[in-house]
């Protein structure tokens, strides 16, 4: 799928681009049923709400090997509908998958992600440039009540901010320090809720400021994030690198697959 000039300009201006209806209801169902299967696997590639509880984050579903491997996500991360736009926003270079992360923000329990830039963490992983893009695939309908993502439009242009490690909330990770955040917010458009129908895909820049709230609803809010990096932008060596399931060392350039991801999933299964 080719992006138009105006779609590329939107991504460049706002730091994100929404593509409704990229996956069908049947494809979304197949992805969700895979996540229900993987949720029960005992592995360090997923994080549970509490020991023995339901999985809230599942990593590395895009490979053809490993405990959380899934044929349908392997196909989805390589299908033209997604890989071609990813290449277009990154200047048509060879890409690999930096990681896949499925966030199963469950009804009532699913909690806040503080304001952050993804590249705040990835820079610490040794990634030289913010030359990545993330494809968010909505698997449920994200709403303001169930903890949808919020973006500050255009905030990817603030550059790389020095993050602060936040260990006070459920997700312990690198966030934007409050004083800097308030300053940026005072000089930016209001944050935008990223809502849509299941099957919508949103590409976003690694420096865009984003956050999400608690899931106060009775509905789960599931989403998957497929992060693409340029092969030429692979991470440099760092002391104590994070594990392969969040900082992939499979740098083989992705080959364009088929848009028939259900057939590809069946053949591989």
Nearer to ligand SIN, 78 or 99 (CB): 99
Decide if residue 118 touches Mn ion (CB under 5 A).
yes
Taking the C-alpha atoms of residue 69 and residue 221, their distance in angstroms, rounded to an integer, is 21
Dihedral sign computed on CA atoms, order 255, 256, 259, 263: negative
- Of 74, 99, 123, 210, the one binding ligand SIN by CB under 6 A: 210
In the complex, the smallest distance separating the C-beta of residue 105 from ligand SIN, rounded to whole angstroms, is: 6
66: left (phi over 0), alpha (psi -120 to 50) or beta: left
Decide if residue 205 touches ligand SIN (CB under 6 A).
no
> For ligand SIN, how many residues bind (rule: CB under 6 A)?
8
Residues 6+ apart with CB under 8 A from 263: none
User: Contacts with ligand SIN in 106-135 (CB under 6 A)?
Assistant: 113
User: Contacts with ligand SIN in 130-159 (CB under 6 A)?
Assistant: 147, 149
Decide if residue 99 touches ligand SIN (CB under 6 A).
no
User: Contacts with ligand SIN in 219-248 (CB under 6 A)?
Assistant: 223
Taking the C-alpha atoms of residue 126 and residue 149, their distance in angstroms, rounded to an integer, is 26
Residue 212 interface partner, choices Mn ion, ligand SIN, none, CB cut-off 5-8 Å depending on type: ligand SIN
Nearer to Mn ion, 23 or 150 (CB): 150
Residue 103 interface partner, choices ligand SIN, Mn ion, none, CB cut-off 5-8 Å depending on type: ligand SIN
Q: How far apart are the first and last CA of the chain?
A: 26
Decide if residue 58 touches ligand SIN (CB under 6 A).
no
Nearer to ligand SIN, 57 or 94 (CB): 57
Nearer to ligand SIN, 113 or 203 (CB): 113
Strand boundaries in 145-260, DSSP class E: 149-151, 164-166, 173-175, 192-194, 201-204, 210-212, 221-230
Helix (H) or strand (E) holding 240: none
Q: Dihedrals φ, ψ of 224, to 5°?
A: -120, 140
Taking the C-alpha atoms of residue 259 and residue 201, their distance in angstroms, rounded to an integer, is 15
Asked whether 205 and 133 are in contact (CB, 8 A), the reply is yes
Residues that bind Mn ion (CB under 5 A): 118
Q: Given the rule CB under 6 A, which residues bind ligand SIN?
A: 103, 105, 113, 147, 149, 210, 212, 223
């Amino acid at each position: 799928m080719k992006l138009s000039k105006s779609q590329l300009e939107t991504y460049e201006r706002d730091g994100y681009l929404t593509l409704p209806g990229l996956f069908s209801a049947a494809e979304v169902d197949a992805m969700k049923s895979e996540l229900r299967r993987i949720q029960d696997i005992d592995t360090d590639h997923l994080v549970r709400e509490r020991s023995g509880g339901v999985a809230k984050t599942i990593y590395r579903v895009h490979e053809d090997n490993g405990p959380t491997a899934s044929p349908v996500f392997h196909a989805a991360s390589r299908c033209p509908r997604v890989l071609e736009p990813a290449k277009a926003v990154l200047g048509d270079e060879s890409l690999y998958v930096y990681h896949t992360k499925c966030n199963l923000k469950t009804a009532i329990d699913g909690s806040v992600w503080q304001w952050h830039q993804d590249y705040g963490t990835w820079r610490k992983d040794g990634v030289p440039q913010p030359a990545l893009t993330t494809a968010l695939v909505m698997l449920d309908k994200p709403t303001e009540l169930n903890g949808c993502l919020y973006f500050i439009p255009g905030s990817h242009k603030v550059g790389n901010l020095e993050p602060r490690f936040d260990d006070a909330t459920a997700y312990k990770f690198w966030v934007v320090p409050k004083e800097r955040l308030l300053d940026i917010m005072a000089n930016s458009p209001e944050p935008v809720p990223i809502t849509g129908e299941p099957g919508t895909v949103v590409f976003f820049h690694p420096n865009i400021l984003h956050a999400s709230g608690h899931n106060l609803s009775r509905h789960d809010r599931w989403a998957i994030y497929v992060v693409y990096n340029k092969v030429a932008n692979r991470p440099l060596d760092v002391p104590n690198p994070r594990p392969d399931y969040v900082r992939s060392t499979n740098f083989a350039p992705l080959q364009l697959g088929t848009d028939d991801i259900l057939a590809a999933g069946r053949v591989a299964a």
